[in-house]
Every structure is written in structure tokens, then in C-alpha cells.
Structure 1
Amino acid sequence: MRWRNALILAAIAAAPAGVAAAQSRAPQAMPTDANNPLVKALEACRKIPDAAQRVACYDAASAALVNATTSGQVRVVDRNEVRRARRSLFGFSLPRLPWFSGDDSQNDPDDRLDSTIKSAWLLKGAGRYRIVLADNAVWETTESKLNWIAPRPGQKITILKGVLGNYFLSVDGQVGLRGRRVG
């Protein structure tokens, strides 16, 4: 009993220090396009005082950028494309990706996905289902319930992100089953 009380007191005493340490950590800066040599070349052109030299510099730098995009070495992506990509990865556990830096959609609520079922089938002997969504994302239930009505194409599905990496799949308003994204 004394040990338990001592542990509780130690945890309470250490909690403020842990919170302060976590709050003081600044998020790590992600690499930006400013480090790209093509972007650096354009930035260097801005510093040239002579108009004719500056235009010549911009012509050369922009031609290099256009050639890189045409050849596939560089891809210019707008915020809507980044948001679509981020949304298409819902359910996968991925590291912070540098090409998402500067994208404010990372602040959007990332805990819910609403979609439509494209196809669904019962996995043999498991009582679990594999469900393909309208965007071709593939999910599987990781538990089974006897009173859960089987999912069918065309039904609405809501996937909610839970704690500790769990996801809950709810078809047409039914109680959600735990699930995971598999493709």
C-alpha cells in the first residue's frame, strides 16, 4: 500500500515537468521548396539590380523549371491536390511527409471519413468483412458482431478514428466495428 501511494505521489510530482517539457518542444521544420535548386535560381534572379540581366536570369531559371516539370523531375502541386492526397491516405499510418509542409489541411479534422461502399464481402470463416469504398480504399473489419447487418454496395459508410490507432466502421448508422485500412 505504501509503495502504491509513493508511486502515485511521484507521478503527480513528475507530471508538471513532463507537460512543460512537451510544451517547450517546437515542431520540427519540414524541408520546403526553397531548398530546391530550381527555386533558389529564381530567388537569385530577384536580387539582380539590372533589369536586363534580371530578365535574362528569370528566362533561364524559368526555362529550367519548365523543363524539369515537362521531364517529370519536378511536379507542381496545388493545395487542393495536397488535400486530396492527404484524404486518400486516411487510415494509413505514415510519417510526416515533406511535400505536405506548408499545407494548412493538416489542421483539418482528420478523424472522420464519409464515403459510399463500392463492394463488400464476408471473409471466409472469420465473420469479418472486406469493404471497398468509392475511392477504391480497402478496409477490413477486425471484429465481428452477430447483430451487424452485412454491408452492401451503395450504402453510406462512416469511418471514425479512435484512440491508439483504432478505426471504427459504421455502415448506414449501425454501431461501428473496429477495422483497419488494408489497401
Structure 2
Amino acid sequence: MARLACYDERITALQTAQSTNQVVIADREQVREARRGLFGLTLPRIKLFGDDTDESDGVSELSSTVQSAQRMGNSKWFFVLEDGAKWVQTDNTKIYPYPKSGSGIVIKRAALGSYTAQVGGGGRNFKLKRVME
């Protein structure tokens, strides 16, 4: 009886904490979606969504659609993806054909914390980084 009473007390405390947003319970799919949304951002290592070295649940590649692409004054490109994420080209690789709204884009983790992308399913890879504006 003591064990059951203890269990009931703990469950009630958990339900209260959850209803007041002191505890948030997320399923695996919600964690994956959050990781996808944070892809490319430099964040403190707090392991909120698990260990980043675990590639089974981690995100090492992002496939998306370009919402808008514009060439900046320095001949580099600025991209806004369909989820609102903003990326800017960091190398001098010429991107051809020119990216446009609706083009597919694949962004992958590269060496030393960098990222590479390819637009339209072909063409050359170029380096880019995620920016906040």
C-alpha cells in the first residue's frame, strides 16, 4: 500500500508540473522536428535534445525548398528556405543554374562545423552558414 501511495503521489506531482508547464514531455518525432529547425545554428551544448553525436536521431542533412534567393553585392547568395531559415553562401563558388524560388536545396554537415549545399539536385557544392536576422 505504501508503494502504491508513493506512486500516486509522484504521478500527481508530474501531472501538476506538466499542466503548469514546469515539465514538458516530447515524443521522439517532436525532438526530431526541433533538431531539424535548429539545424545549422551554433547553440550551447546543453543536450536538451539528446547527444549531438548520436547520428541515428541527429540531423546531418536537411532537404528543403528555396522560398527566396538573392545575390548579394559580393557575388554571394542569400537564401530563405520554406521554414524561414536563412542561410548565406560563405565561399566564392559560382552557383549555376541560378537558384530561384521553388528550387530544391540539400544542406549537409561538413568538416569542422561547416555546411555545404547543392541547389536543384545538380551543380556544384558550395559552402554556407545559417544566419539569424
Which bin holds the TM-score, normalised by the shorter protein? 0.7 to 0.9
When the two structures are superposed, what TM-score results if normalisation uses the length of structure 2? 0.82
- AA in 2 matched with 1:70: S
Alignment correspondent of 1:171: 119
Structure 1 residue runs of 4 or more that deviate by more than 4 Å after TM superposition? none
Shift of residue 137 of structure 1?
1.4
Alignment correspondent of 1:128: 76
Q: Output one character per residue of 1:47-67: Cα deviation in whole Å (capped at 9) or x when no partner.
A: xxxxx3222222221111111
Alignment correspondent of 2:27: 78
Equivalenced residue count is 130
When the two structures are superposed, what TM-score results if normalisation uses the length of structure 1? 0.62
Select the structure that is richer in strand: 2
Shift of residue 176 of structure 1?
1.7
Please tell me the root mean square deviation across aligned C-alpha atoms, in Å: 2.3
Larger of the two Rg values belongs to structure = 1
Whole-Å separation in 1 of the counterparts to 2:103 and 2:10: 51
2:111 aligned with 1:182: no
Select the structure that is richer in helix: 1
Shift of residue 74 of structure 1?
0.7
- AA in 1 matched with 2:81: L
**What is the DSSP-based 3-state SS (H/G/I as helix, E as strand, rest coil) of the residue aligned with 2:7?**
helix
Whole-Å separation in 1 of the counterparts to 2:13 and 2:115: 45
2:120 aligned with 1:162: no
- AA in 2 matched with 1:65: L
2:64 aligned with 1:115: yes
Shift of residue 105 of structure 1?
8.6
Whole-Å separation in 2 of the counterparts to 1:86 and 1:128: 27
What stretches of structure 2 of length at least 5 have no aligned partner?
none
